[in-house]
Amino acid sequence: MDLTTVVKQQKTYRLNELEAAKTRELSSLAARLSNSPPIVLSGLLLDLPEGMRKSILDFGADTGSGGHFLLRGLAVDDLPDTPVVHGAEILDSHFTNGTLMLVADLLGSLVGYQDEKSGTLFHDVHPVRGEENRIENSGSVAFDFHTENVHHPLRPDYLGLLCLRRDHEGIAATRVSSVRDALPLLSAEQVAELRKPQFHSLYPTSFTRDVEGPRPPAGPHPVIFGSKERPFIRFNTHNTRAADQGAEHALRALTEALESVCRDLVLAPGDLVVLDNHVVVHGRSAFEPRYDGQDRWLRRFYSLRSTPLWAQRMMRHPRVLPPMADIRGVV
């Protein structure tokens, strides 16, 4: 599906030149505060362009079925070459850190996970040579539908992907599919199976890079939860396992329904797509990296609406959630 068509079907806001300049100015200020508690940024949030701020807050109110929002026209400026290794951190002080932080804090609070990339708050999404087949943001093969950090009791409420650079062919798509669009395609019996706490989800490989042995499972948990009118989803095509054949058939039907209502977004530089992690699952289409400094490059944030007090008191950094070893079984 072409991006122009998609834009007509989703919540979108395009910044004009003055709004983009103002947002860039505020982003530069915010980028210097990434180690600060969320309260420190509150004044900058109020200074964001009114149309942009209102559109993001309206999206966060969860009034529609789409579960995603597209903000267009953000500044990215001149960029260095796309990294080709993990943890290059070449944008450590870049103003786009501030852009991601402002949007994340407007929706909730920017967070990282101690177990993932050592708590890094801003994730560079780009291909890494030799990891083409990994089902992570370092791969370039198709990455099927998933809830971000599906295993985690404090998985993000929102995540955002800011496009810095397209792939060479301009075909790599961020794939987004809403459970609220998909469920009407399933039978009542299939939905009932998906609502049972009979599924387990393996820890993603991004959380177990340095862990020996098999990946641990989380669960049991339902795949569909919430009211009939406003359902939510917790599912990873690659990692969620069913308890029996009936549950497996229901998972397969759900996957087919999600595919049929999927929207493919080929992001342009300066596009930021924000996803409600409980309403939509997302993925990536395959592309061919060249490792020439001009490969596809996105930046990702996580946002959590509220962190429990007990978790806050266990955090080693004001924005980094404790390791799973410390909290598994607590919630």
pLDDT in tens, 100-137: 999 999 999 999 999 998 899 999 999 998 877 676 67
Q: Which of 7-16, 78-87, 191-200 has the highest mean pLDDT?
A: 191-200
pLDDT value of position 227: 95
Residue 183 pLDDT class (50, 70, 90 cuts): very high
- Token pair belonging to 220: 């049991």
pLDDT (tens digit, 9 = 90+) per residue, 211-267? Answer: 777 888 999 999 999 999 999 999 999 999 999 999 999 999 999 999 999 999 999
The pLDDT of residue 3 is 38
pLDDT at 8: 40
- pLDDT value at residue 216: 87
According to DSSP H, which parts of 158-308 are helical? 179-182, 188-194, 245-260
133 or 150, which is more confident: 150
Predicted confidence (pLDDT) at residue 6 exceeds the cutoff of 50: no
DSSP conformational letter for 329: T
Instruction: Quote the CA–CA distance of 247 and 175 in Å, as a whole number.
Output: 25
Which of 6-15, 207-216, 217-226, 298-307 is predicted least confidently? 6-15
**What is the edge-to-edge ordering of all strands in the sheet holding 240-242?**
217-221, 199-202, 240-242
Give the SS3 label for residue 3. Answer: helix
Amino acid identity at 39:
I
Q: Which residues of 64-78 are buried (b: 16+ CB within 10 A; e: fewer)?
A: bbbbbbbbbbbbbee
Pairing of strands 143-146, 320-321: unpaired
- Residue 5 reports pLDDT greater than 70: no
Longest CA span, the chain: 57
Distance CA 37, CA 28 (A): 17
Omega before residue 231 within 30° of 0, cis? no
pLDDT per position as a tens digit, 25-39: 999 999 988 777 788
- Distance (Å, rounded) from C-alpha 191 to C-alpha 187? 6
pLDDT over 60 at 308, yes or no: yes
Question: Per DSSP, what are the bridge partners of residue 161?
Answer: 273, 300
84 versus 184: the higher-pLDDT residue is 184
What pLDDT sits at residue 55?
Answer: 95
DSSP string for 76-124: --S--PPP-STT--TTTT-HHHHHHHHHHHHHSEEEEETTSGGG-SSEE
What is the pLDDT at residue 10?
Answer: 54
| 23 pLDDT tier (thresholds 50, 70, 90) | very high
What stretches of the chain adopt beta strand conformation (E)?
11-14, 68-72, 109-113, 123-125, 143-146, 158-165, 174-178, 199-202, 217-221, 224-226, 231-233, 240-242, 263-265, 272-276, 280-284, 297-304, 320-321
Q: What is the pLDDT of residue 93?
A: 86
In angstroms, rounded to a whole number, what is the distance separating the alpha carbons of residues 45 and 154? 24
% of the chain exceeding 70 in pLDDT: 94
Output the CA–CA distances (angstroms, integers) from residue 258 to 27, 97, 186, 190, 244, in the order listed: 35, 32, 10, 14, 21
pLDDT value of residue 306:
93
Structural domains of the chain, ranges and CATH numbers in brackets: 3-178+266-327 (3.60.130.10)
Please count the other Cβ atoms lying within 10 Å of the Cβ belonging to residue 44.
19
Q: For 50-69, how does the pLDDT look when each residue is reduced to its tens digit (9 = 90+)?
A: 999 999 999 999 867 689 99
What's the mean pLDDT when you consider all of the chain?
91
- Give pLDDT, residue 136: 66
pLDDT computed for residue 133 by the predictor = 65
